[in-house]
Amino acid sequence: MLKALVVDDEDTTRDVLVNYLPWNEIGINKIREANNGLNALEIIEHYHPDIVLCDVRMPKMDGIEFSIRLNEALPDCKIVFLSSYSDKEYLMAAIKLKVIRYIEKPLNLEEIAGVLKVAAAECMESNHKRIQRRQILLLDLCQSFTTGLYDVRQVGELLKELAIHFPENGEYLSCMIRTYPADNESAESCTHYVLSSLRVLFELHYNEIIATVKGESDIVCFVRTDGRLSIDSLQIQLQEFLDRFEEPTEFASCQIFIGLGNKAIGLKNIHLSYQSAAAALQKQFFYGYNRMATYSPDPTNVFQFDETILQTLSDHLRSHRPAEASLTIMSVVSQMKSHENTEPLLIREAIFKLFLVISKFADNRNIPLQTEKSAYQLNKIANTRTLFELKGYLLEVLNYVFQHVESKKHDQDTIAKIVNVANEQFQDHELSIQSISKKLFLTPNYVSSIFKQATGKTITQYITDLRIQKAMELLKTTDHKLYDIGRMVGYADGKYFTKVFEKATGLKPKEYRGYRNHG
């Protein structure tokens, strides 16, 4: 929305203009008034109107002189003159001042509203272009500050155009903010939301701070710290800003992390502060979300992975010691966290080695970790944002594997019971999946499923194979009649026994016995 200023020495005229024009329809939501040019000059020092509706002849300072001064202070402001006079002197002055319309009194509110709508449209278009240009200039400026490839003199001219107070020998500090959207939010909307909130936070310091988006999820800031904003007050305000993201408010749709750079003296060194801020941002991997870190180089504080840990973890897995395996992982991760100057890539590589130990153990026991196999796991470890989440993922995989181990152990016990029941009761012609399940207090579907998965056979097939094997032994070692042998191995119907035996061996029982006798 736009702002307007009404300048006229006649109280009645001002009252009519302020109270009876359709300002909201025009697109103007703030209106101030002044009774002469001098009074108006005082107002525009703090109130920057987009449109001025101004009488020409006024005491103390007329509209022409005020408009000249207005043009110097606010060159983009649109001016509409009101006057009872239409002599050439005022018309020429209006042309020189780029006045968009000269309206003669008595006032016609409909005519004035139409002129103001045109002026408002021009203002909004100008504002849009100005905002676009400012954004482009800010991006160019930030790009220069991040690369260090800039000429201080040219940067100074750019800063002047942007009305940013960054003296050549000032003190500066860079900070980077990385945004993490909620699952239902886009990265772009989250980043722009955080940026707009940040600008509101530093509204009073608008000309001593530069903040713009870098990439999809990063915001880069450059702050003058030897002006109205010190490093201590900056850190306090940023911490308060962070605290908002911990509260159950509209900020909960995003999470952020702030990396603070080191102080830089002079514009020529401002890129060094950016480089240290970018380095501090990497600590998010160790700190988690909604935290702030500073850059503190320490080449000795780097994690060195002890490869013997892999054998220790493997031993715990093979010995089925889930508690010890979990403690091993947590101990390693704790060591990693205390070495926050380590490149996250090196930590991820160590985490992947731990995962491969678990994966190998699982593969050897036919425990599927994921349908996507190693490519999925590698991608998961590479893209998980924090060490805390990686630890959680490893422990989740470990727990999943041990649950399967316990489940398989239970299944193996059940399978052994199934085999035992079959061996003890194969002579019972009523032996079936249902009778076995009932005896074991398990469902037929579960019993069938685990047996088939473990042996590759159905329970019915196993019982049949067992009975045929027993029948073959009896045919070889006894002279019992064939129908008696059928009953002895669980077949009440002799003909059915013959049919099943022939299907399994390719010979009828009598033929099989004959081969035995002639063998």
What are the CA-CA distances from residue 270 to residues 143, 175, 275, 329 (Å)? 12, 11, 9, 41
> What does the domain layout of the chain look like in residue ranges?
2-127, 148-294, 308-406, 426-518
From residue 356, give the alpha-carbon distance in Å to each of 321, 381, 385, 398: 18, 12, 20, 11
**H or E, element range at 52:** strand 51-55
Minimal CA–CA distance to 241: which of 224, 258, 217?
A: 258
Residues 331, 391: contact at Cβ < 8 Å?
no
Is 381 in contact with 348 (CB distance < 8 Å)? yes
What is residue 518's predicted lDDT score, i.e. its pLDDT? 55
pLDDT at 371: 46
Which tokens in the block code for residue 107?
């006032």
Instruction: With H, G, I as helix, E, B as strand and everything else as coil, classify residue 466.
Output: helix
By three-state DSSP, how is residue 493 classified?
A: coil
CB 70 within 8 A of CB 52: yes
Residue 81 has a pLDDT of: 85
Task: Cis check for the bond before 106: say yes or no (omega within 30 of 0).
Answer: yes
Q: Which residues in the chain land under pLDDT 70? A: 85-100, 248-252, 370-375, 516-519
Residue in the block written with tokens 């002639």: 518
Angle value at C-alpha 292, between 291 and 296, nearest 5 degrees? 135
- Arch. (CATH architecture) of 426-518: Orthogonal Bundle (1.10)
Cβ–Cβ under 8 Å, residues 213 and 136: no
How far is it, in rounded angstroms, from Cα 190 to Cα 188? 5
Strand-pair partners of 254: 181
**What pTM does this model have?**
0.65
* Token representation of residue 453: 């998965």
For residue range 496-513, what is the model confidence (pLDDT) as tens digits? 989 999 898 888 888 888
Strand partners, 213: 219
Element containing residue 216 per DSSP (H, E) = none
pLDDT computed for residue 510 by the predictor: 87
Q: Can you list the alpha helix ranges (DSSP code H) found in 372-508?
A: 373-383, 387-425, 433-440, 444-455, 459-477, 482-488, 494-505
Report the candidate in 442, 429, 411 with the shortest Cα–Cα distance to residue 492: 429
At residue 440's C-alpha, the angle toward residues 434 and 443, to 5°, is 50
Provide the pLDDT for residue 372.
47
Distance of CA 219 to the CA centre of its chain: 14
Q: Count Cβ atoms within 10 A of the Cβ of residue 337 and give its class: 0-12 exposed, 13-18 middle, 19 or more buried.
A: middle
Q: Write down the architecture of domain 148-294 according to CATH.
A: 2-Layer Sandwich (3.30)
Distance CA 381, CA 360 (A): 17
Say if residues 9 and 33 touch (Cβ distance below 8 Å): no
The reported pLDDT for the residue numbered 172 is: 95
Contacts of 226 (CB under 8 A, 6+ apart): 170, 171
pLDDT digits (tens, 9 = 90+) for 180-202: 988 777 888 889 889 988 888 88
Query: What does the block give as tokens for 74?
Result: 């606010």
Instruction: Name the CATH superfamily for 2-127.
Output: Response regulator (3.40.50.2300)
User: What is the Cα gyration radius of the chain?
Assistant: 42
- Cite the beta strand spans of 90-229 per DSSP E: 101-104, 171-181, 209-214, 218-224
Specify the residue for token string 């005491």: 59
Contact 444, 437 (CB under 8 A): yes
Question: Which residues are CB-contacts of 392 (< 8 A; sequence separation ≥ 6)?
Answer: none
- 213 and 191 Cβ atoms separated by less than 8 Å: yes
